[in-house]
């Protein structure tokens, strides 16, 4: 059965690849991102790209109003927009940290607030929130990113209980290492931080590991995410969490069962 699907953060990576798959499967797919020029190929495939910034309430309202006017409903909202802010807590300007939270957490919440009333009225719908394996564990230099994804986890759990009486599913997607722009963004951020930073040695080691992962077999293809999203959308009763991609399951398992100090030692052994 064809569904009306709204995907944020669809100009590249997981969002874009999944949008292509869903369009091919006959769904009506609206894709939003700031870089609309990078979604022109989705339009040629039959998608509906719209320029939108998840931190702009007017943009969000315009997108939701447009979809409701054209389709009368939104069956699936995939809150996928987000990015990783990397650097030490000491070095990262708090304005940058606030922006991280604004995009990764409050942008997701704003989208949900605009779409949920229509799902409640229909007494059905699915909301997928992109977290990360980083929402359950941690690496040094990623404090604000991990904080945002831990927040996504907690918000999603509460939302799931709130919307359950209205027949709406809330699903958390927890990707591991996926071959996207994520690594290159991390490296660019490190380059912007003070060269004399006390944490430069640690940053250099993380950067080196990131480059090796990108060059070798350190990441899963975005298709593992599209497979998971298709499974969620087609399921009448999806699981509450889908942990997919390189290292996602083993890393979260170690974090859950090995305790803080042992996990700390494992992480720092890679530094």
Secondary structure class of 231 (helix, strand, coil):
helix
Coil, strand or helix at 126: strand
Q: What is the CA radius of gyration of the chain?
A: 19
Which among 149, 199, 220, 246 is annotated as catalytic?
149
Distance of CA 130 to the CA centre of its chain: 3
Contact partners, residue 123, CB within 8 Å, separation at least 6 = 166, 167
Q: Is there a catalytic annotation at residue 138?
A: no
Q: Which H or E run includes 79?
A: strand 76-79
Catalytic member of 20, 86, 131, 156: 131
Strands of the sheet containing 28-33, edge to edge, are: 48-51, 28-33, 4-8, 76-79, 125-130, 168-175, 241-244
Task: Choose the catalytic residue: 3, 16, 136, 145.
Answer: 145
Question: Is there a contact between 54 and 108 (Cβ–Cβ < 8 Å)?
Answer: yes
DSSP bridge pairs for 28: 4
- Whether 131 and 152 have beta carbons less than 8 Å apart is answered as yes
Instruction: Indicate if 11 belongs to the active site.
Output: yes
- 43 catalytic? Reply is no
**77 contacts 111 by C-beta, under 8 angstroms:** yes
Residues annotated as catalytic are 11, 131, 145, 149
């Amino acid at each position: 059965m064809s569904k009306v699907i709204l995907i944020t953060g669809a100009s590249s990576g997981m969002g874009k690849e999944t949008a292509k798959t869903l369009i091919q499967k006959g769904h009506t797919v609206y894709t939003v991102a700031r870089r609309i020029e990078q979604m022109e190929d989705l339009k040629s495939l039959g998608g509906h790209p719209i320029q939108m910034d998840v931190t702009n309430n007017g943009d969000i309202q315009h997108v939701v109003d447009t979809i409701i006017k054209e389709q009368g409903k939104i069956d699936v909202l995939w809150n996928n927009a987000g990015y990783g802010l990397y650097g030490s807590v000491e070095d990262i300007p708090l304005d940058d940290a606030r922006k991280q939270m604004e995009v990764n957490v409050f942008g997701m919440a704003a989208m949900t607030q605009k779409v949920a009333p229509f799902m409640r009225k229909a007494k059905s719908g699915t909301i997928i929130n992109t977290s990360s394996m980083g929402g359950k564990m941690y690496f040094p230099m990623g404090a604000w990113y991990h904080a945002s994804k831990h927040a996504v986890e907690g918000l999603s759990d509460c939302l799931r209980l709130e919307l359950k009486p209205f027949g709406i599913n809330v699903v958390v997607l927890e990707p591991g290492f996926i071959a996207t722009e994520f690594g290159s963004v991390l490296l660019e951020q490190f380059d912007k931080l003070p060269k004399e930073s006390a944490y430069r040695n640690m940053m250099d080691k993380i950067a080196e590991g990131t480059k090796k992962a990108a060059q070798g077999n350190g990441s899963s293809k975005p298709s593992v995410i599209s497979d998971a999203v298709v499974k969620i959308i087609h399921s009448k009763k999806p699981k509450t969490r889908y942990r997919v991609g390189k290292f996602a399951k083993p890393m979260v398992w170690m974090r859950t069962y090995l305790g803080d100090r042992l996990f700390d030692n494992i992480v720092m052994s890679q530094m």
